[in-house]
C-alpha cells in the first residue's frame, strides 16, 4: 500500500509542528539547542559567563578580553551564519552591526586591552591585525591598550567592539596653493635649542606614523610640510595647520632666514663684516635668494623677507605713502636756514637693491623697514638739515636744482656702503615761512601786474590790429569786386583797342584799296582828260587861230554864262548912265574894248 502525504502528516505531524515552531522561535533554539543565528551585516560578541573546569577559568590580572576560553568577553567573534553549542546558560551573545567608515573619513581606534604603552609613547604601536578585525592577533602579537597610532581607511569591517572603540574623523585635505604645517604628538623629544624636527624619510607624509617614529622622528613642530592633496593622518598623532604657500612676486626676491638646520658657516669671507650668510639648508640667512615664484616653505621654521629688486620710491612727505608701505612712517623734513627761518620740504628718494646684495641687506638690518628707519631716514634728513644751514631761504629756493644734484651725489655715496644704490634724489614741495612768502608773493604780484599791464597793452594793440584786419576783411569783398571790375574794364578797353586797331587796320586797308582805285581811276580820268583836253585844245587852237584871242575868251565867257543861265540883261532897266547902274554885259564889253586897245590900239566901231 502506497504512503501518501496525508499519511505522513498523520504519522509525523507533531514532529513537523515542533520543527516549525522552533525554526520561527530563536529563543527556543537558543535554549534547547545552543544555536545562534547571526545576520549577514552583523557579528556576534561572546561573553562567557563561567567555566567549571580547567586551569584558565578566570582572566589574568588586568586582562579584559579572554584568549584561552576564560570567563569573560571573548576575543573571537561570531561571523554571519548559524552557530551551535552556545548554550544560553553559559554564553551571552551580543549582536552588533559591522563597523562602517564613511567615504571622506578615517577610523580612529582605541583598544581596551593589551600591553601597557611603553617607551614614553602616547600612542600604541602598530600591530598586524587586519585593520583591527583580528582581535586575537592584536593581543597575541603585542598590541597595546589605549589610542592606536594606526587608522582605519574608509570601508566596512568586522571589528570586535568589545575590544576596540572606533570613532570617525574627517580625512585631511590640503587645498591648492596651501601647505600643511605638521605638529606631531609622538616621537623623540627635540634636542635642546631646536624648534622643529628635521625631515624624516619613509613615513608617506605622516600617514605611516609608526614608520615616522621608528625612523627617528621627533615630536613637536616639523620642518617638512604637506602639499596639496588628501591624506589619512591620525589626528591623535599629528595636527595640521594650513598656511598659504610663500609667494615671491615679480620684481622681487625672497631672502630666506632659516631657524632650523645644521649650524651654518659664513660664506661671505672678510669682505662683508656685518652678518653671516650661509648656504641653503643651513641655519641662518641664505646667501642665495629665492627668485619670483611660489614655494612650499614652513613659515614657522623659515622666514622669507621680500626685497624689491625694482626701483623703490620713498617719500618724506606727510600723508603720502607708496604701495610697499616702507615709507608710511616718514614725514616732511623740517629744516632751518642760515637766516633763522624754519621751513618744510618734501623729498623723494629712489633706491635700488641688487638681487645678489639683497641677502647682505637683510643680514645687516633684518628687514627692509629697518633699512629705512636705521639708515635712509637719518641720512637724508640730516643731509638736508645741514644743507639748509649753509644758505638763506631765498637762495635755497633759487638754487633748488643745484641742491637736488648735490643731494643725489652725497646720498648716493653714503648708501653705497650699505649695499644700496641711490638712483635719484628729488626735492618736492618747499614751504617757506608764511611772512616771507607774503613778501615774496607781493613782490611777485607787483612784477606780474607790470607784466599784465604790458600784456594788456600788447593785447590792445593786437585788438586794434585785429579790428583793422577785420575792417580790411569786411571790405575785401568789395576790393576784390573793384579789382575784378578794373580788370574786366581793362580787358574791355584792351578789347576795344584791339577792335579799334582792327577797324583802323580794316579802314586803312579799305582806304588803301580805295586810294588805289581812285589813283587808278584818276590816272585813267587824267589820261582821259588829257586826251580830251588835248583834243579840245587842238580845237580851241583852231578856233583861236580863226579869231582873235580876246574874242575867243569873250566867247568862252559868254558860253559859260549861258550854260549857267546867268541873266545878262536885266529885266528892268533903270535910267542914268552911271557905272553903278551898268550890267555885266557892259562890264564885259568894257573889258573887251580895253583889251583890244592895248593890243592894237584900235577902237572898235
Cα torsion 31, 34, 40, 43: sign: positive
Mean pLDDT rounded to a whole number for the chain: 83
Residue with cell 621627533: 218
Collapsing DSSP to helix, strand or coil, 603 comes out as: coil
- Helix, strand, coil shares of the chain, percent, nearest 5, are 40, 25, 35
Q: What is the mean pLDDT of residues 84-91?
A: 85
Minimal CA–CA distance to 371: which of 379, 361, 382? 361
Q: What is the mean pLDDT of residues 518-544?
A: 66
Residue with cell 600643511: 180
Residue 32: CA count within 13 A, CB half-sphere = 10
pLDDT tens by residue, 59-71 = 888 899 999 888 8
- Of the CATH numbers 3.40.50.720, 3.30.450.40, 3.40.309.10, 3.30.479.30, which one belongs to the domain with range 307-432? 3.30.479.30
Residue 420 has pLDDT above 70, yes or no: yes
Q: What is the mean pLDDT of residues 357-381?
A: 92
Identify the residue with better confidence: 232 or 448.
232
Give me the torsion for CA of 376, 377, 378, 379, rounded to 10°: 40
Residue 352 has pLDDT above 80, yes or no: yes
Question: DSSP letters along 286-311, please?
Answer: ESSPBPSEEE---TTTEEEEEEE-S-
What pLDDT, on the 0 to 100 scale, is given for residue 489?
Answer: 75
Residue 226 has pLDDT above 80, yes or no: yes
Query: Minimum mean pLDDT among 42-56, 89-103, 243-257: which range?
Result: 42-56
Residue 257 has pLDDT above 70, yes or no: yes
How does 223-235 read in b/e, with b if 16+ C-beta sit within 10 Å? Answer: bbbbeeeebbbbe
Residue with cell 622622528: 217
What pLDDT, on the 0 to 100 scale, is given for residue 573?
Answer: 45
What pLDDT, on the 0 to 100 scale, is given for residue 576?
Answer: 44
Strands, E assignment, 193-290: 220-226, 229-231, 238-244, 246-248, 252-258, 262-263, 277-278, 282-286
The model's confidence at residue 139, banded by pLDDT at 50, 70 and 90, is very high
Q: What is the distance between the terminal CA atoms of the chain, rounded to a whole angstrom?
A: 244
Residue 574 has pLDDT above 50, yes or no: no
pLDDT tens by residue, 167-182 = 999 999 999 999 999 9
- Measured distance CA(72)–CA(92) in Å, rounded: 10
Residue 122 has pLDDT above 60, yes or no: yes
Q: What is the mean pLDDT of residues 32-50?
A: 87
What pLDDT, on the 0 to 100 scale, is given for residue 66?
Answer: 92
Percentage of residues in the chain with pLDDT exceeding 90? 49
In terms of DSSP bridges, do strands 91-97 and 146-152 run parallel, antiparallel, or are they unpaired? unpaired
Query: Minimum mean pLDDT among 198-212, 303-317, 462-476, 508-522: which range?
Result: 508-522
Query: Minimum mean pLDDT among 111-115, 192-196, 362-366, 598-602: which range?
Result: 598-602
Q: What are phi and psi of 259, to 5 degrees?
A: -100, 0
Query: Minimum mean pLDDT among 76-90, 119-133, 198-212: which range?
Result: 76-90
Question: DSSP letters along 156-199, please?
Answer: EE---TTTEEEEEEEPEEEPTTEEEEEEESSSBPPPTT--SBPP
Q: What is the mean pLDDT of residues 342-347?
A: 90
| The three three-digit cell numbers of residue 461, written as one number | 594793440
Residue 84 has pLDDT above 50, yes or no: yes
| The three three-digit cell numbers of residue 185, written as one number | 604628538
User: For residue 54, with 0-12 CB atoms within 10 Å meaning exposed, 13-18 middle and 19 or more buried, which class applies?
Assistant: exposed
Q: What is the mean pLDDT of residues 95-120?
A: 94
- Measured distance CA(150)–CA(118) in Å, rounded: 16
What pLDDT, on the 0 to 100 scale, is given for residue 514?
Answer: 72
Give me the torsion for CA of 204, 210, 211, 216, rounded to 10°: 120
Question: DSSP letters along 547-591, please?
Answer: S-HHHHHHHHHHHHHHHTT---S-SS--S---GGG--HHHHHHHH
Domain ranges of the chain: 23-168, 171-244, 307-432, 434-473, 495-546, 549-570+579-600
The model's confidence at residue 582, banded by pLDDT at 50, 70 and 90, is very low
Q: What is the mean pLDDT of residues 7-27?
A: 60
Cα torsion 17, 19, 20, 21: sign: positive
Amino acid at each position: 500500500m502506497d504512503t501518501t502525504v496525508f499519511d505522513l502528516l498523520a504519522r509525523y505531524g507533531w514532529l513537523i509542528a515542533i520543527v516549525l515552531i522552533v525554526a520561527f522561535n530563536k529563543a527556543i533554539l537558543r535554549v534547547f539547542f545552543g544555536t545562534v543565528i547571526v545576520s549577514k551585516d552583523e557579528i556576534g560578541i561572546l561573553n562567557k559567563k563561567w567555566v567549571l573546569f580547567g586551569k584558565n577559568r578566570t582572566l589574568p590580572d588586568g586582562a579584559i578580553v579572554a584568549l584561552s576560553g576564560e570567563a569573560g568577553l571573548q576575543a573571537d567573534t561570531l561571523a554571519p551564519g548559524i552557530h551551535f553549542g552556545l548554550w544560553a546558560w553559559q554564553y551571552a551573545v551580543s549582536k552588533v552591526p559591522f563597523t562602517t567608515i564613511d567615504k571622506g573619513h578615517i577610523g580612529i581606534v582605541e583598544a581596551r586591552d593589551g600591553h601597557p604603552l611603553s617607551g614614553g609613547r602616547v600612542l600604541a604601536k602598530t600591530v598586524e591585525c587586519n585593520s583591527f578585525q583580528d582581535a586575537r592577533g592584536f593581543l597575541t602579537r603585542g598590541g597595546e591598550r589605549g589610542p592606536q597610532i594606526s587608522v582605519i581607511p574608509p570601508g566596512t569591517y568586522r571589528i570586535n567592539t568589545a575590544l576596540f572603540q572606533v570613532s570617525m574623523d574627517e580625512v585631511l585635505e590640503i587645498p591648492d596653493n596651501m601647505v600643511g604645517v605638521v605638529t606631531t604628538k609622538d616621537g623623540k623629544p627635540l634636542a635642546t635649542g631646536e624648534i622643529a624636527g628635521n625631515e624624516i624619510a619613509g613615513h608617506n607624509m605622516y600617514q605611516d606614523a609608526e614608520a615616522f617614529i621608528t625612523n627617528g622622528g621627533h615630536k613637536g613642530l616639523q620642518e617638512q610640510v604637506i602639499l596639496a592633496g588628501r591624506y589619512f593622518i591620525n589626528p591623535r598623532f599629528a595636527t595640521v595647520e594650513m598656511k598659504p604657500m610663500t609667494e615671491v612676486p615679480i620684481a622681487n626676491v625672497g631672502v630666506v632666514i632659516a631657524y632650523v638646520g645644521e649650524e651654518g658657516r659664513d660664506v661671505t669671507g672678510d669682505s662683508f663684516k656685518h652678518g653671516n650668510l650661509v648656504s641653503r639648508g643651513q641655519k641662518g640667512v641664505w646667501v642665495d635668494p629665492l627668485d619670483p615664484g611660489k614655494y612650499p616653505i614652513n613659515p614657522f621654521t623659515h622666514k622669507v623677507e621680500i626685497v624689491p629688486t625694482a626701483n623703490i620710491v620713498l617719500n618724506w612727505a606727510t600723508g603720502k605713502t607708496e604701495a610697499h608701505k616702507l615709507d608710511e612712517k616718514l614725514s616732511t623734513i623740517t629744516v632751518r636756514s642760515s637766516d633763522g627761518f624754519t621751513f618744510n620740504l618734501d623729498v623723494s628718494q629712489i633706491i635700488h637693491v641688487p638681487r645678489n646684495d639683497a641677502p647682505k641687506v637683510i643680514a645687516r638690518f633684518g628687514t627692509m623697514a629697518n633699512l629705512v628707519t636705521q639708515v635712509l631716514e637719518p641720512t637724508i634728513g640730516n643731509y638736508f638739515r645741514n644743507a639748509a644751514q649753509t644758505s638763506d631761504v631765498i637762495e635755497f629756493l633759487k638754487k633748488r636744482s643745484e641742491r637736488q644734484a648735490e643731494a643725489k651725489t652725497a646720498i648716493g655715496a653714503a648708501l653705497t656702503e650699505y649695499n644700496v644704490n641711490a638712483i635719484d634724489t628729488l626735492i618736492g614741495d618747499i614751504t617757506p615761512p608764511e611772512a616771507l612768502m607774503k613778501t615774496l608773493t607781493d613782490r611777485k604780484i607787483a612784477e606780474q601786474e607790470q607784466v599784465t599791464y604790458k600784456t594788456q597793452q600788447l593785447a590792445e594793440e593786437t585788438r586794434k590790429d585785429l579790428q583793422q584786419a577785420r575792417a580790411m576783411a569786411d571790405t575785401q569783398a568789395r576790393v576784390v569786386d573793384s579789382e575784378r571790375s578794373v580788370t574786366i574794364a581793362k580787358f574791355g578797353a584792351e578789347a576795344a583797342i584791339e577792335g579799334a586797331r582792327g577797324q583802323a587796320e580794316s579802314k586803312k586797308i579799305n582806304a588803301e584799296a580805295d586810294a588805289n582805285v581812285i589813283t587808278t581811276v584818276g590816272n585813267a580820268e587824267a589820261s582821259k582828260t588829257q586826251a580830251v583836253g588835248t583834243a579840245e585844245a587842238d580845237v580851241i587852237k583852231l578856233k583861236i587861230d580863226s579869231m582873235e584871242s580876246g574874242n575867243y575868251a569873250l566867247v568862252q565867257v559868254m558860253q559859260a554864262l549861258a550854260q549857267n543861265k546867268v541873266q545878262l540883261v536885266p529885266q528892268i532897266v533903270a535910267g542914268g548912265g552911271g557905272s553903278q547902274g551898268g550890267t555885266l554885259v557892259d562890264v564885259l564889253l568894257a573889258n573887251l574894248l580895253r583889251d583890244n586897245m592895248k593890243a592894237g590900239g584900235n577902237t572898235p566901231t
